[in-house]
Structures are given as structure tokens and as C-alpha cells.
Amino acid sequence: MGRSYFVEEAVGQYLSDFSTKPKACVTGLLIGQCSPQRDYVILAIRTPPRGEQNESNKNYHPKLADIDEEWVTGHASQLSRMLPGGLLVLGVFIVAAPELAKDIQNALRKLVFSVEKSIGKKRLWNFAEEEVSDRVALHLCSATKKILCRTYDMQDPKSSAKPADWKYQSGLSAFWLSLECTINVNIHIPLSATSVNYELEKNTRNGLTRWAKQIEEGVFLINGQAKDDDAELLEGQKKSSRGNIQHSIQPFDVKVLTQLSQSSGHRSTATVQVCSGSINLKGAMKCRAYIHNNKPKVKDAIQVLKRDIINTLSDRCEILFEDLLINEAPEKKNSEREYHALPHRAFASIAGSNVMLCDYKFGDETAGEIQERFFEMLDQVVHGEAIHIAEEINIVDINPPVDNTDDTQQMQLTKATLLLKFQQNIGVVIAAAVAIFAVAFSFNYFSD
């Protein structure tokens, strides 16, 4: 028995629009959420066309061989930053003419594995063994509009395709539940004396990996209460006369408690490292996650929020380093101490859904630039009034390692000089002592 995918009706309409072009060969990503019982698809997003693939170019006729795997996976990596906790890239789709059907499945299989691998490289957390590891590969025939839905197991590179159900449903995510929290960050990442500029991002990632473990092991209070992991998130909620849960528009307010140190039951080792620089991350971040309303468990709700906390800080640091790399002044000295602000989070709602997607905004960026990015990456028109900028204060203090080669040589020279003078002084002292002893001996001899 294959998996069942419950799909927002708007996704079906979105895909059908591409089938009006008989020669179309369109690739894209499927966005949604996995659960043990079923999977949910709330968005389909086409791969942004490259310059030569612009739709205004009437002489261009896309073919299956034109699919650029690197371009598709790059889009998936960028898009994954815009997904709040609980949403994942669930798979890929291709809309193609019937004459291309023969090689479609091979192309889909290659893409779905490449996309998952590309996104997985950035994660600072791991999927649990019991979590769903299947990803979907969807083919829509542009002529017949027939859909072929199959899945592949990402844990098995040699896995074969398995059939899956594709069912449309209206208002699929209209009543999904949201969890929000503000996480305070104060992370100190030491830089070894031998670190160089290009290792700053690597060192930051290592420091964030250690911090991510603290988040994973933290205690999460939902609306001020510590709830049992296996309890239902909606337990105790009132039901309407029709027997449905009365959903509040208010999100669940979550507080995060992390341990200051390891418990005595854990063995730890200390590493001594010579450091001459550091990276300090300080501030407060707004985090948000969503979960389906089909009897979700507390542990699943907490898990998606944990991952949003970890993802958003990691993504912000990555975006900052990319910006510094692009805009770095050539005359800047590598040893200069720098202060930077991490980008703020900007949320935008999806039509007909309770879910909001996000982007990241530097202080000098305008709302128009955010709108352009949403359209480019999500193929969605977002109005300026629909964008909500989170109120956050985040500072990155980069104190690069100092090159102490000259100082070290000078210190060694100074030590050598002092040692030589000390030896000379010792010689003078010994000679004086011998002379005094000789005089005293002579005085005593003649006195006798």
C-alpha cells in the first residue's frame, strides 16, 4: 500500500495552467508536511526560468534534456530558507508532453534524489528513524492531464518507485495550528589562532551545531505548561456543536528552557585550544512553525518548532556570510573587528491558508525587493501590506584571529636578550663572590 498525498485544490489548478501549453516541459517543487498517517501538499512552485528559457522567447521549445539539475537543486536550497518549521520540500514535479513520457521517470528519480541531497547538506539536525523518508515524484501529462504519482525512499539510493495516491482537498491548511516563540541567543564561538577568513563560516557552523544540540535537548513549555510527548496538542480544547475542534486564531505560545551545562550523568572531555579571535551571536529571534490539525501529537509540534529555531539562525548566518562575500571591500583589513546585524525575518501569508512563508531582510532592503524575491522564488504575488517584518535585534560580533608572527618573533628575541644578559650578570655575580671569598680568606689567614 503506497502513501496518500492530500493536496490543496489550488495546487491542481496551478499545475493544470502549465498543461495549456502543449509543448511545455516545466519542472518544480512540491511543498508540504509529512505525518505518519498521510502527507499534505499545500504548494507547487515552478523552477524559475533561466534567461534563454524566458517565456517571451517564442523560438524556445523546452525539452527533457534541457532540465538543468544544478538550477533545480539551487532553487530548492534557496526555497528551503523560506519555509517555516513544519514545511518541507516533499518532492518534485514535471509537466511534459506525451512524447516525452518515456524518459520522464528517470528524470524525476534523478531530480528527487538530487534535491533532497542538496537541502540535506545544510541541515544541523537529523530526521528520526521513525519519520517518513519517502519523497514524491509527480508527472502531469500536458495533453491528457493525467497524473502519475510515485515515491522514492531517500534512505535507499537504489530504491524503486512505489505508487502513491494523489487526492485533492479544499482548504487543506486553512486551520493548521501554529506555534510561536522568541528565542534569546548568546553564542560565543572561539576562533583558533591559525584560522583564516574563509574558515569563519565553517567555524560558525561548528559552533551552531553545538548550540543546536542544546535546543534539541531543551524543555518546551506550551502556553506555560509542560505537556506529555504523546498527548494530543489539542487535548482539552472545546468542541463545537458539530463535533469539530473550535480553532483559535491565536498561535500556541512556547517558552524554551535550555540547560546551562551537562548533567552529572554525562561524561565530557575538555579540549585546550589557542584562540586569538571569536564570533559572538547575540539577540532575539522570532520563530514560527505549523502543524496539521489531524490530531497532532505534542512531540511532533515541538519537533517542528525546534527545527525552525535551528534553521532560522543557521540560514541567517549563511545569508550574512554570502552578503559579506559579495560586498566585501578590497581595502578592508582581515584583522579588523566587525559588527553586523543579522537579517530580520519577514512573513507573508498564502492565499486560502493559515500558513505564512518567510524571507530575510537586511535593514537597507525595501518591501519592493522582498516582493520581487517572493515572486521569483515562490512564483507568488505578495502585496506589500501582506508582509510582516518581525521585530528582532540580532548582532554578530566578528573578531578575526590576529596574525601574531612578528610579535612572536619579537618576544622570542626579547627572551633571548634577557637570557643572555641574565647569564652575563650571573657571571659577574659569581666573579664578585669569588673575589670577596678570596679577600676574606686572606684576612683570616694573616690574622692568625
- Average pLDDT score, the chain: 84
The answer to the question of residue 406 being in a domain is no
169 and 104 both lie in a single domain: yes
Give residue 385's pLDDT.
Answer: 86
**Which pairing describes strands 39-46 and 4-8: parallel, antiparallel, or unpaired?**
parallel
Write the pLDDT tens digit of every residue in 14-37.
Answer: 999 987 776 678 999 999 999 988
For the domain that residue 100 is a member of, what is the CATH number? Answer: 3.40.140.10
Question: Higher confidence at residue 96 or residue 400?
Answer: 96
Average pLDDT over residues 347-361: 93
> Across residues 396-419, what is the average pLDDT?
58
Examine residue 262 and state whether it is found in any structural domain, yes or no. no
Residue 295 is assigned to a structural domain of this protein: yes
Q: Please tell me whether residues 13 and 119 are part of one structural domain.
A: yes
Query: How much is the average pLDDT of 417-431?
Result: 46
pLDDT, greater one: 269 or 435: 269
Work out how many domains the chain is built from and give that number: 3
Helix or strand holding residue 204 (H, E)? helix 200-216
Strand order in the sheet with 162-163: 162-163, 147-153, 134-141, 88-96, 25-34, 39-46, 4-8, 165-169
Please give the average per-residue pLDDT across 378-400, as a whole number.
88
* C-beta of residue 148 within 8 angstroms of C-beta of residue 103: no
Q: What is the pLDDT of residues 69-107, one digit of tens each?
A: 999 999 999 999 999 999 999 999 999 988 887 889 999
Give the domain extent around 364: 175-233+248-257+274-329+338-399
Supply the DSSP string of 87-103, one letter for each residue.
-EEEEEEEEE-GGGHHH
What does the pLDDT average to over 370-389? 92
Task: State the pLDDT at residue 218.
Answer: 95
Query: Is this structure's pTM higher than 0.75?
Result: yes
357 DSSP β-pair partners = 348
Residue 21 lies inside a defined structural domain of this protein:
yes
pLDDT category at 334 given cuts 50, 70, 90 is: low
Q: Are residues 195 and 320 in the same domain?
A: yes
Check pLDDT > 50 for residue 435: no
CA nearest to 1, candidates 38, 40, 42, 41? 38
Please indicate, yes or no, if residue 11 is contained in any of the structural domains.
Answer: yes
Residue 125 sits in the same domain as residue 168: yes
